[in-house]
Each structure stands twice: as C-alpha cells, then as structure tokens.
Structure 1
Amino acid sequence: YQECFFGELDSKDTIGLGLDTLKPIYYLTGKMTYDIEESKDIFSQTLKVFYKNHTLTILNYSIIDSSLNIKLECTSK
C-alpha cells in the first residue's frame, strides 16, 4: 500500500500537510494484489483531488499512463 500527497507548498498551512489549501491538493493511493489465475501482480491506484470544499475521486488512475492527461510530477528544486 502506497500513498502520496501532491500540491503547492505553503508554510502557513493550518492542517499540517504543508500544502496550500487554496489550490488543488492531489492524494494518490495505490494497492497491489496478486491475480492467481493470471499469475501476476495487479496494481490499482485512486487519485483524489481536494479543492475548496469539493472532492473528486478518480478510480483506476495510472500515474504511468497519466490518466485523463493529469500529470503529477515534482517541479521543486
């Protein structure tokens, strides 16, 4: 099980993530299961986007394929 938060950094953040809550925050979770019939690992991811008082959940998101053309990448130096 893996999880990652993405967003713009904000030193004044009040919820403790260090992210700017006035801009979208992306929460990526993933889980690996083993398919006995196919004899292979299956990795599924869910992307949640939090913006203001709304949450968007995208099931079966693929960070490798940039599903829905949403590219999560590190831009800080």
Structure 2
Amino acid sequence: MLKAGHHGSHYSSSMEFLEQVQPKLTVISCGRGNRYGHPHQETLERLQAIGSNVIRTDELGCIKVVFDAEGIKCYGYADLQ
C-alpha cells in the first residue's frame, strides 16, 4: 500500500518510484473540489499504468484500511452520517 505524497500532486510519485514500489493499493488524501486540482490527472494515469487500485478521500471521505489474515479491506465514510 502507498499513501500518495502531497495529495497526488503532479510530481508526487514518479514512474521510476512507482515501478520500484509497485503498490497494489494507493490512498490519496485530498479535499473535494480543492483549488489545486489534486489529485493531478497525470499522477492518476501513472498509478493506473502500474495497475494500482486508487482510493481517494475526495470521493470516499475518511478512509480506513484494515490488514488482516484475509487480506486488505478498505472502508470509506463519506456516506455514513
């Protein structure tokens, strides 16, 4: 699992870095409708190119990632009130 640096900005995760790390899951923490445009489209495309599943706080709200004997489970809390 990778927690993307700097809210998924344009330069946060180079292809060279991603090819070495090969994250199966990437969490991007960014605000909905933020004025910086995070996460950047090119960053998302790089993550897609290496086959990483991406989950984002701007879409899911608070994210909980659980690692256990059964694998990795992700929970988003945007719709829980």
- TM-score, normalising length: structure 1: 0.27
- TM-score, normalising length: structure 2: 0.26
Quick check: which one's strand share is greater? 1
> Whose Rg is larger?
1
